[in-house]
Structure 1
Amino acid sequence: MSRRIALVEDDPAIRQNYADALVRAGYEVAAFADRASASRTLAGRLPELAIIDIGLGSDIDGGFTLCRELRGASERLPIIFLSARDSDFDIVSGLRLGADDYVTKDVSLPHLLARIAALFRRVDAATNEPVAADILRRGKLELDPQRMFAN
């Protein structure tokens, strides 16, 4: 089953370009042009990842607002800001608001797809904690073959 990604980008050409690349990579994409439509739709069903631009048309900080809304709905939802804004202030603000990553729009598509895959790997690792029965114990030695960890 493919992962569901919400893409929020006001520029139609850029939105379509990223949506096409994500679909080609095997993701299911719901694309939105503004914060209001994204908020309405995502309130009913959260995606597995939200990729958000900061400036959404006349709503110059709409992406920040949407990030706060989504983070309020789920502490675990992965969020990536994808923005042309590259100041330290914007990057730090985005991360402090709860984004897991922040990339600028000059990023190559392979680079963006690699970051998305890495983020999903971390999410999967955090949600797939080892079952106690999977851990081998011999005296004080504990081996977790799933995570390749010895203690």
Structure 2
Amino acid sequence: MQKRILIVEDEPAIRDMVAFALRKADYDPAHAGDAREASLSIAERVPDLILLDWMLPGTSGLEMARRLRKDDLTRSVPIIMLTARGEENDRVNGLEAGVDDYVVKPFSARELLARIKAVIRRSGSADEDGSVSLGGLRIDGAAHRVFAGDTPVPIGPTEYRLLHFFMTHAERVYSRAQLLDNVWGGNVYVEERTVDVHIRRLRKTLEPWNLDTLVQTVRGSGYRFSVSV
């Protein structure tokens, strides 16, 4: 299935130009002129990536990015900000709001496509069978196996699900409650401290390959899987 990319941009000419470039690159573009139209499009189908204009009517792209990061439905969807604001302070504000990357207007289609590919690659998006590679680890979704390089990693079923969730939602911080909902399921009663136990087990599993540091504790917030130091 083609990856869907939602273009949230109020300038029709820019929307059309970006959509044309995306179709040529074998993506499936969706359009939205403002935050309301974007929400309707997301409700219809959650995109694989969102291109978000900074200056939108009604709600700014920055505020929309914050809302998207608070919504469980879109929390892990990569966002690239399209902006005419290239100053460092503006870039920092965007990153703090949860934006994964930014492209300063005017931009070329070639630059935009390169950014999209890089962000999707960094996000560790899984293949249709659940396979994913990131940070020296590889999950073979069809075989339900984990590899460090070419070496099989013995791993329990819960740690497997936890690692798979982390690798397909890399660089995002998740609270214990959110991990319980996404890994154990919302209908299962498990104490939050159970998450800590399985995090320790997962780290111990990855320790022989010096990959335990990929699972990071974010003080006061929860945990994340990150390839960054």
TM range (shorter): 0.7 to 0.9
1:144 corresponds, among 125, 140, 149, to 149
* TM-score, normalisation: structure 2: 0.54
Alignment partners' CA distance in 2, 1:41 and 1:134: 35
Question: Which deviates more, 69-78 or 46-55?
Answer: 69-78
Partner residue in 1 for 2:66: 68
Contact 2:9 2:53 in 1 (8 A): yes
- Counterpart CA distance in 2 for 1:54 and 1:34 is 11
Residue 45 of structure 1 deviates from its aligned partner by 3.0
Gaps of 5+ in 2: 152-207, 210-229
- Runs of 4+ displaced beyond 3 Å: 131-135
Indicate if the aligned counterparts of 1:39 and 1:66 stay in contact, CA closer than 8 A: no
Q: Is the 8 A contact 1:5 1:51 kept in 2?
A: yes
Aligned positions, number = 139
SS at match of 1:130: strand
Deviations 1:21-71 (A, max 9, x none): 1111110011111111112331443211000001013x3x52112211211
Give the number of the structure with larger relative contact order, counting CA–CA contacts within 8 Å between residues 6 or more apart: 1
Q: Partner of 1:130 in structure 2?
A: 138
| Contact 1:83-1:104 at 8 Å conserved across structures | yes
Aligned ranges 1:1-151 → 2 under 5 Å: 1-57=1-57, 59=58, 62-73=60-71, 74-124=74-124, 128=132, 129-131=137-139, 133=145, 135=147, 144-145=149-150, 151=209
**How far did residue 133 of structure 1 move?**
4.7
Q: Residues of 2 paired with 1:31 and 1:134: CA distance?
A: 38
Q: CA separation in 2, counterparts of 1:75 and 1:10?
A: 23
Look up the equivalent residue of 1:2 and give its one-letter code. Answer: Q
- Letter aligned with residue 84 of structure 2: A
Once the two structures are overlaid, the 10-residue window that deviates more, 85-94 or 6-15, is 85-94
After TM superposition, give the deviation of residue 72 of structure 1 in Å.
1.5
Q: Which TM-score applies when normalising by structure 1?
A: 0.80
What RMSD, in angstroms, separates the aligned Cα atoms of the two structures?
A: 2.4
Please give the per-residue CA displacement for 1:80-126, whole angstroms capped at 9, x wherever unaligned. 00111222232111110000001112222111101111111122368
